[in-house]
């Protein structure tokens, strides 16, 4: 797979379940033009690590908004499965209401385009991409299914990318760049 960082993000159009659990929508890469986009892939609805990540990003959504960023979760499940998961009580493994949509990559095209598809299983690895307002991929991390991501690290990298400077190890917003 060819690298994505520094290149135009692959185009996409996907159906979504909106975070209110009541409505459906559609997202396109073009619809995020002019904003930063934090797009993360996860393997399957109704699993164990995924709800911790999705709810974690939702709880901190206002911090992404303050950084002029949108958040989009993606899996190869249908928008109907996403909606059912949002509407399932958290005590029973559900998500509850979210502050961002979950997109359905039922065709697996987007997962393949972003290099996260496990073809033989039809699911996505945990991949996270930060796309700048011009549609350029600025950050990509892809890893195994068993380990959840860090919202703190995602926000740190987002702010570092937005700083325009050279950011040393463990740089945090408000600190000097090199």
Q: How many CB atoms lie within 10 A of CB 15?
A: 18
Residue whose tokens read 């409505």: 23
Q: How far apart are CA 178 and CA 168, in angstroms?
A: 7
- Nearest-5° angle of CA 103, CA 77, CA 112? 75
Active site residue 50: yes
Distance of CA 172 to the CA centre of its chain: 21
Task: Count how many Cα atoms sit within 13 Å of the Cα of residue 93 in the half-sphere of its side chain.
Answer: 9
Q: How far apart are CA 170 and CA 78, in angstroms?
A: 38
Residue whose tokens read 């945990």: 126
Q: How far apart are CA 114 and CA 105, in angstroms?
A: 12
Q: How far apart are CA 25 and CA 120, in angstroms?
A: 29
State the catalytic residue, choosing from 4, 37, 50, 137: 50
Residues acting as catalytic residues = 50
């Amino acid at each position: 797979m060819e690298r994505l960082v520094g290149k135009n993000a692959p185009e996409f159009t996907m159906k979504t379940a909106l975070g209110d659990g009541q409505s459906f929508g559609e997202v396109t890469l073009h619809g995020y033009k002019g904003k930063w986009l934090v797009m993360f892939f996860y393997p399957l609805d109704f699993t164990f690590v995924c709800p911790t990540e999705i709810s974690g990003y939702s709880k901190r959504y206002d911090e992404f908004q303050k950084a002029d960023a949108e958040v989009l979760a993606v899996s190869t499940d249908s928008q109907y499965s996403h909606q059912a998961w949002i509407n399932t009580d958290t005590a029973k493994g559900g998500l509850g209401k979210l502050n961002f949509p979950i997109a359905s990559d039922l065709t697996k095209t987007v997962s393949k385009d972003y290099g996260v598809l496990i073809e033989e299983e039809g699911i996505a690895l945990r991949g996270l991409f930060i796309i700048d307002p011009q549609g350029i991929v600025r950050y990509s991390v892809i890893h195994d299914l068993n380990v959840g991501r860090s919202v703190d690290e995602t926000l740190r990298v987002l702010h570092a990318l937005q700083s325009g400077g050279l950011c040393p190890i463990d740089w945090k917003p408000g600190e000097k760049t090199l």
